[in-house]
Amino acid sequence: MRLALQRSRELADADEVAAAAAEYLARHIEEEKDHDAWLLEDIAVCGISDDKVRSKLPGPVVAALLGAQAFWILQEHPVAVFGYLAAVEGDPPTHVHLNQIRIQTGYPEEAFRCLREHADADVLHQAELRAAIDGMPLAARHHQLLALSAFETIAGLTRFFDVLNDARAGGEA
């Protein structure tokens, strides 16, 4: 989001979509502040230290997922990040679903704090995101980019969860 904000600000004077994106992203980045720390705390509850998480290089699945977004933000238009956001915040998990995952994985309740917070907050974020997208003067190419970004995000997240599942089953992540 910071990369998209930076690029949006660079284009904002001559591009209404970039100006609207910059306004939304500046607010939303603040709302997402420290969520990475929450996630690391949740992972620590599962017995994996912050140092261990930070010492590992991101794998190719994560690099591809985020690299695609960076490419589209820099080479096409920063509105691409809104496709990513729509995919990750557009249909937040429910508490029932998170409880089912907790039971199936055996992880403690405390390991799901970040996800539970997002289950609540992303309902509001979803409405704000839709309003922001609807309020932008998007051209056909912007719509295509949003869709491409959203579908690639879903595909990338699917690949990521497949890797996690394989690692949990005893394979290498």
pLDDT tens, 102-155? Answer: 888 888 899 888 888 877 766 677 889 999 999 999 999 999 999 999 999 999
**CA quadruple 116, 117, 122, 123: dihedral sign:** positive
151: in domain: yes
| pLDDT bucket at 7, cuts 50 / 70 / 90 | very high
pLDDT, average across residues 82-89 = 92
Quick one: pLDDT at residue 97? 86
- Do 166 and 173 meet the contact criterion of CB atoms below 8 Å apart? yes
Question: Is 158 a residue whose pLDDT tops 60?
Answer: yes
Element (H, E) at 47: none
Residue 135 burial (CB count, 10 A): 11
Per the structure, the count of domains in the chain is 1
70: in domain: yes
Q: Tell me: the pLDDT tens digits for 24-64?
A: 999 999 887 877 888 899 889 888 888 998 999 989 999 99
108: in domain: yes
90: in domain: yes
173: in domain: no
Quick one: pLDDT at residue 74? 98
**CA quadruple 105, 44, 98, 57: dihedral sign:** negative
Q: How many CA atoms lie within 13 A of 55 on its CB side?
A: 5
Question: Is 167 a residue whose pLDDT tops 60?
Answer: yes
60: in domain: yes
Tell me how many degrees the CA angle 84-85-87 measures, rounded to the nearest 5.
Answer: 65
- The CATH number of whichever domain residue 93 belongs to comes to 1.20.910.10
Quick one: pLDDT at residue 80? 98
Quick one: pLDDT at residue 153? 95
23: in domain: yes
Quick one: pLDDT at residue 67? 97
152: in domain: yes
pLDDT, average across residues 89-108 = 85
Residue 21's domain spans which residues? 2-168
Q: Report which of residues 91 and 45 the model is more confident about.
A: 45
